[in-house]
Each structure stands twice: as C-alpha cells, then as structure tokens.
Amino acid sequence: MNKIVLTIATLALMTLFTSAYYSTPADSRIGYKAPALILGNNNGLSPLQQHRGENVLLTFWSSSDAQSRIDNMKYDRLSRQATAAYNHVSVNLDRSSSVYNSIVALDSLDRSACIGTSLDEQDAIIKSWRLDEGYHSFLLDASGTVVAVDPDAAMLAKLK
C-alpha cells in the first residue's frame, strides 16, 4: 500500500514540476515563446536551435505569394549588412523543390539562410505558425520569444 501511495505522490510531483516548467504556451503571436520549427534536413537541429541565444528573423515565404517573396528578398539583403544584429532564417513553402531552387538562384538569396520544406513539414508549419491566412516574418529575441511580426528595416536596425 505504501509503495502505491509513494508512486502516486512521485508521479503527481513530476507532473506538477513538468507543467510549471512549460507554463508559457508556444504561439506565433507577439510576447509568446515561438513554436517549434522541426525540419528533416538539419541533422536533427532545428534552425531555431542552431541560433539559440541570438536574435533571429524567421521568414516564411513562397514563390506563389508575391508579397512574401518580396519581403524575403528585402530581409535577405538587410541581413547581409555588417551591422545586422540578427540571423535570418528563410523558410520556403513552395510545393516544388525545383521551383524553390530556381527562385533562390534568381533572387540571389543567401543559400545558407534558405531552407526548403517537404509537403509534410509545410502543413505542420502552417498550422503551428498560423500561416493559413498569409505568410509572415517573425523577429525572435535571444530567448526565443516573438517580439515582432513583419518588422520593418528601422526596427531591425535598432537591434543590438
């Protein structure tokens, strides 16, 4: 009987401490911890984990969405400036990898910052980042919290 009570008490404490640790839900809205970005092509590390502790500008775009493509080109150019105090991660949501590769070359994008996604990954990304009504860019601070959506050049220039 004592073993059962001890086991239940231990499980209850583990649940309490685990839920307290993860108290802030992940969400793509300003002020929330950014959702996970898990992609199969990064040796197990997500692009956000690779830049942990740094500011990140995360851009979602597609060649079929002209505004997101233009914004991605703009952010790509800004991130190449020596004064940029953030890392740009460009996530493409095109359904065709050949279209994605052609656009990266055509737009002269920094290939090291660009990530193509699979169809399975795209559905999860669209859902978790709330992109079903359009693609956006998210500025994440060093702790992984969303501090801005679609930031302008002036806001990015103010980063330290």
Sequence ranges of the domains in the chain = 25-157
Distance CA 8, CA 28 (A): 36
pLDDT mean over 88-111: 94
Q: Report the share of the chain in percent with pLDDT over 70.
A: 82
Whether residue 91 is predicted with pLDDT greater than 90 in this model: the reply is yes
pLDDT mean over 135-144: 94
Query: Comparing 21 with 80, which gets the higher pLDDT?
Result: 80
Domain 25-157 sits in CATH at 3.40.30.10
pLDDT mean over 105-134: 92
Chain centroid, CA 95 distance in Å: 19
pTM: 0.80
Q: How confident is the model at residue 21 (pLDDT cuts 50, 70, 90)?
A: very low
| Residue (of 82, 59, 68) closest to 148 by Cα position | 59
